[in-house]
Chains A and B, each alone.
Chain A
Amino acid sequence: MIAALIIVFREVFEAGLIIGIVLAVTRTVPHRNQWIAGGVLAGILAACVVAIFAGALSNLFAGMGQELFNAAILSLAVVMLTWHNVWMARHGKELAGELWAAGRAVVEGSKSLLALAIVVGVAVLREGSEVVLFLYGVMAGGSDSGLSVALGGFIGLVLGALVCMLTYFGLVKIPTRALFATTTILIALLAAGMAAQAAAFLEKANWLTALDNVVWDSGWLLSDSSLPGKALHTLIGYTDQPTAMQLVVYIAVLAVTFALMRLYGAPAKTVTPAPAE
């Protein structure tokens, strides 16, 4: 039971953190619960499909299907997160103000929600397919008691939901004025971290071989497989042995995000002065 609990918790932990952040980011947006729940459900369904076709997926691209699939969905999440940040730079003020009540703003808002729902779906999908395969294997094998494994898995899931709630309530405690800046930075770091992970998958698939030297090894200080290391891995993309390429990709995504926010972020006409950064 404990083994099942640990495995399930390890997998849902990352998704829990990401969903918690997305919930905090969209806290003032109407209908956000349906969108995020939809993202979670779509993620679970997709995880089951991926689990069923795990063998076929692996065999694609000379055995590197899994790595490339992970890189692709991570890249999709990076685009969605970046797009959300740029969108918020332009519409953030409307969102806080009365303009939000206007119909157009709601329509615009659902575009941003769709982007974040996709991010949630990707987070659930990535970790979920492993949980599905594990639980299915245990159920089919029948060596352990199915009930105790199911119970362990369920507790693991509850603990994951707890991580999600702690993240959410921790973030919404931040005053509204500071929350926007905080979540913008959090999302930019999340996107950069995911992009570096995507680069790592491409390196594993041998599709990316340039700059593949390990720049530092901080495993002695904080292993990225420990719980705090894993949390930092999800939040800011921490890894204890980054390659030069991962660092380049990380910095490039941050630079592009803030450049795009500057370029497209300025609203056409605002009376209020720009908020201090």
Chain B
Amino acid sequence: MSFSCTLPKLTTFAAIALISIAATGAARAQSATEIQLSYKDKKFDPAEISAAANTPIVIKLKNLDAKAMEFESKTLKVEKVVAGSSDATINVRAQKPGRYEFFDEYNEKVARGALVVK
């Protein structure tokens, strides 16, 4: 009934959305700040990293331990499993200035670090 006429609209909308994704995708990826971070013996190195505000951030994390870890930050909305002795890329969206804590979910009490956005 009234729903049947909304379907073509939805299709058009989806098409517009897809085109805009394709158009903006390439431009966004270049401007990101890249940060190197390593993890060994339940410690992040460096324990504090910093980045500029309002810029997407890419964290390159090296897990040097043999065990898997889970990089998590509630405030950054990131949750990523990193297998033992391997690397991971974590994309973080542009943030407002502030201090954002992250940790290894499997060792939440000891394995902590923070991203300071200025």
Contacts and interface: CB of A to CB of B under 8 A. Distances in A.
A170 interface: no
Contacts of B93: 203, 212, 214
Contact of B10 (A66, A214, A252): A252
Contact of A259 (B6, B14, B68, B82): B6
Contacts of A206: 25, 28-29, 91
A258 to B, nearest CB: 7
A204 interface: yes
A55 B86 contact: yes
A138 B93 CA distance: 32
A210 B24 contact: yes
Nearest to B85: A55
A212 B109 CA distance: 32
Interface stretch (A86-94, A128-136, A175-183): A128-136
Interface residues of A, number: 46
Interface in B10-27: 10, 13-14, 17, 20-21, 23-25
B1 to A, nearest CB: 6
A243 B5 CA distance: 27
A151 interface: no
Interface of A: 3, 7, 51, 54-55, 58-59, 62-64, 66-67, 129-130, 133-134, 136-138, 140-141, 200, 203-212, 214, 219, 223, 225, 241, 245, 248, 252, 255-256, 258-259, 262-263
Interface of B: 1, 3-4, 6-7, 10, 13-14, 17, 20-21, 23-25, 28-29, 66-70, 74-75, 77-78, 80-84, 86-89, 91, 93, 105-106, 108-109
